[in-house]
Amino acid sequence: MKIEEAYSTDYNDVVDAEKAYDLFWSGEIRDKRNFECPDQNCDARITCANLDKARDKMKNILHFKSYGVHSSECNVVSDKSKVNRPQDDADPSVPRNSYVDSETDVLLLRRLKQHSSIVSTHSGISVVDPKDIKKKMKQSYFMLRNSKRDPEYSTIKPLVSKFEDYLLEGTLSTHHIKISDYKVSYKDMFVEVNGQEFNALSEYPRIYYGEATIIKARNNDYRIRFIDQINHEGKCFNPEVYVHESVLNKHYMRRYWKNLLNEILSLKGRARFFVYCKPNFNENTKNNITTTYLNFRINSLDYLEFRHLL
């Protein structure tokens, strides 16, 4: 049975599969089986398939599936018989099976603190029973099912996956990303590096993407150099993402990224990289020779993603 969202017992909220993936790889969700049915009358166990796999290792898409028995009072199960009927979309009396919006995603520029089971009281700090938290969050889900909320992500990983889906569907213009209350379509957010003029690029950060190779830099730094170019004042530049060792070491997926970069480096291969940034020029002088670089500068690997080339 396909389920759009599930209640995370680690994160204490109802999430969709992409949000669960984002949280799992940041260490806030500990196991792919730590989910329940989101209905307040049901505690059926749910797993998120492929949650613990890197994108290039997935043989199927991320999805929730039940492996427990749903309560006879479970509205999520009972609603499933009504899903995907054309008349239901126009009938406000039919409850929706999802309260996470499918048209607008939010990219958070700062990670939210993990949902806490500690709350402030007049007498100080007290520990809240996890069962009470679960009950309140599931009640909120039930109450909001006829409305929508925008899914929030702390990395560009889910956005890249959705971009690839929307590109195949031809719906890039109808889905949007919101950043600091500013909304932009997926079509305008994702910019392929393909020889365009620098002055034609947006003045705001965008997600630039294209094929790239890995170059070992000084110390334990890496340079991700794009194959295609961007032109400026009659010159051609291959954009580069300079990954400092300090940026790698402070990231929760540092081991994963180091292994990935070293693997591509050792194979002398290419991958398709995505980076959320605003391009800028940087000059480096050595032996009285000045070299100009076009940089895709990042301060966190949350804004970098890759896909193996098929």
Greatest mean pLDDT among 7-11, 28-32, 164-168, 185-189: 185-189
CB count in 10 Å sphere of residue 15: 23
Has residue 116 got a pLDDT over 80?
Answer: no
**DSSP letter string over 29-58?**
S--TT-EE-SSTT---EEEEETTTS-GGG-
| pLDDT computed for residue 309 by the predictor | 74
Q: Contact, 15 vs 152, CB < 8 A?
A: no
Q: pLDDT tens across 192-210, in order?
A: 999 999 999 999 999 999 9
Question: Which pTM value belongs to this model?
Answer: 0.71
Q: Band the pLDDT of 18: cuts 50, 70, 90.
A: confident
Q: How many helices (H) and strands (E) does the chain have?
A: 8, 22
Residue type, 287: N
The domain locations on the chain are 2-154, 158-308
Torsion over CA: 110, 115, 120, 121 (sign): positive
| pLDDT computed for residue 190 by the predictor | 98
Short-list 3, 5, 13, 18, CA closest to 159: 18
| pLDDT computed for residue 84 by the predictor | 33
Q: Band the pLDDT of 89: cuts 50, 70, 90.
A: very low
The CATH class given to the 158-308 domain equals mainly beta
**Structure letter (DSSP) for residue 106:** E
- The two structure tokens encoding residue 270: 């290419």
Residue type, 165: D
Has residue 259 got a pLDDT over 80?
Answer: yes
The dihedral formed by the CA atoms of 269, 271, 276 and 277, expressed in degrees to the nearest 10: 30
Query: 45-59, 97-111, 292-306: which range is least confident on average?
Result: 97-111
- The two structure tokens encoding residue 186: 């997926």
Has residue 310 got a pLDDT over 50?
Answer: yes
